Chain A
């Protein structure tokens, strides 16, 4: 069975960059969300075994998504992908339950390292 991956970012450009950075040959089903609200719906529909989550977004931001996941115990492993690289931001999201943090701009190497570190994917 393939893994369901959700990419949540308000920027179409960032979503495209993210999907390009995923390892080739990884058996996945990709969905997209443009804000936190859509992400929560997608998780509930089972489309987000793994989610790449941006922080600054309209409607519902990344922090609020993490809060909601924790509060409702939603089934999704979250990797935050953000341009906000302040150590405090990294700390906060990890405390809120994010698996890891990847600095933007994203690239294939960084993504592969993180996925491998958590045993999610390796070639």
Chain B
């Protein structure tokens, strides 16, 4: 076999391989453009030749690609980019009507230096891999997992944490509070005369009241506070780094906000109020259940006292 034959074989392979192959010069002008690039871009090698790559593909994030490529020129190092960074460098449409899983081709890219005999890098080569199947499988799996996780944690009506997951968080906060010395408060709250709302306006209206309460809780609380729907018309909150005194300020604000914001149902205004019980963490508690009981006691006190009010659990009683 002579060298010329071998050279032709190599050229044929480069032309037909199912990977995009480009060679660029120092000014990002196309020197080599293989069949994969021709077929997916619709730009022939003749047309691409000597054109700046950014002129052929104005949608390429120029700054980003230059940043990667310059480090290859400078350091003579290979650089890899993955679809998680940018789904694609070249926007190629999905070409498989049946098995295509995305609207465009996800790509991984390798950029490597082509050294001259003197060891200088005047050209770089780009390899473009189609990784659409990997990417869409991974993305689908991730979305499904995230959804599953969220579903198992949240309450369907309000989107707050459900009781099971919230109690799990309470247990771990309880353990953490025992180790650290940070103050931590628990609030239990309940919608006043909820049964009456249901009986007067119907269950749909009751659901709206519950949803509205959870929305206001979410708006009032800080990012780090942990809110859950404990059951029925009962809600629960863990306030991080908060003493009972500060929790009381927050509780009153929440109470007043709800009092002032009636729910509109079938163009009727439903005014309602809430009662709250606060218990700060205390070393006397032997479990998170003790803590819950304490806040429940305070809540009961608010109900007994005439509702639409807050009470703080007294650790000395």
The reply to whether A and B meet directly (CB within 8 Å) is no
A residues near B (Cβ < 8 Å) are none
B residues near A (Cβ < 8 Å) are none
